[in-house]
Amino acid sequence: MIATISGVISEKIDDLLVIDVAGVGYGLTVNVDDYSRFELGGKAKFYIYEHIREQSHDLFGFSSLSTKKLFEQLLSVKNVGPKVAVAVLNIGSEDYVRSAIASGEVKILQGAKGVGKRAAEQIVVELRDKVGIVVGDGAEAVVGRAGLGMQDEAVQALIALGYSDIDAEKALKGIDDSISTEERIKLALKR
């Protein structure tokens, strides 16, 4: 297993950075931030994710370990492969992506190449509580809209029933949150 690669950036080809390590050039697929951060001839260290299939051996490089971990979390989502995971990372900074997931911003995630509404909702449902960002840690930029908290069990139940996060919040808006979750869901479904 390759854990890290350190060397000199020798080429930039499409979305690949070629990093020269003692005369061997490793082609790394990187996100947009890392691609633009490193100049030809500059030294760099990347944390590596190896994706080995029968017909290929792809290397994905990340300048930060936390970005690599977010990438791996994205891969844990059903039907999200490495190319889609990189596309999600390309929508903004790591903190922005974490905030979008934590606050259930499906439309932002849909902005990633190859990510449809269903995939974006799946990412939110599976990773919302795992991305390691607490609302208040910079998430205000994404959370911004007034609404019920995404930690609301009634919202989560409606999402599990197939509602988008926005539709679930709209359905629950105006329903007294002091009544039981079950009653709130029933009233929302009647709307």
111 and 168: one domain?
no
**Long-range contacts of residues 149-156, Cβ cutoff 8 Å, at least 24 apart:** 150/102, 150/103, 150/104, 152/177, 153/181, 154/181, 154/184, 154/185, 154/188
CATH of the domain at 164: 1.10.8
175 and 138: one domain?
no
Whether 71 shows a pLDDT value over 90: the answer reads: yes
28 and 47: one domain?
yes
128 and 112: one domain?
yes
Of 63, 85, 101, the residue that ends a domain is 63
pLDDT of residue 159: 73
Residue with tokens 């922005």: 96
Provide the domain count of the chain: 3
pLDDT of residue 151: 52
58 and 68: one domain?
no
Per-residue pLDDT of 122-175, as tens digits, reads: 999 889 888 865 444 444 434 433 334 445 777 777 777 777 667 777 788 888
What whole-number distance in Å separates Cα of residue 33 and Cα of residue 21?
22
45 and 80: one domain?
no
70 and 133: one domain?
yes
Per-residue pLDDT of 6-43, as tens digits, reads: 999 999 988 899 999 999 999 999 998 888 888 899 99
pLDDT of residue 150: 47
75 and 124: one domain?
yes
Per-residue pLDDT of 78-122, as tens digits, reads: 888 999 999 999 988 888 888 889 888 888 888 888 888 888 899
CATH of the domain at 128: 1.10.150.20
55 and 71: one domain?
no
Distance, first Cα to last Cα, the chain: 54
74 and 123: one domain?
yes
134 and 80: one domain?
yes
Among left, alpha and beta (phi > 0; psi -120 to 50; other), residue 113 is: beta
Band of pLDDT at residue 52, cut at 50, 70 and 90: confident
pLDDT of residue 85: 92
CATH of the domain at 1: 2.40.50.140
7 and 44: one domain?
yes
Range of the domain at 27: 1-63
Of 38, 63, 88, the residue that ends a domain is 63
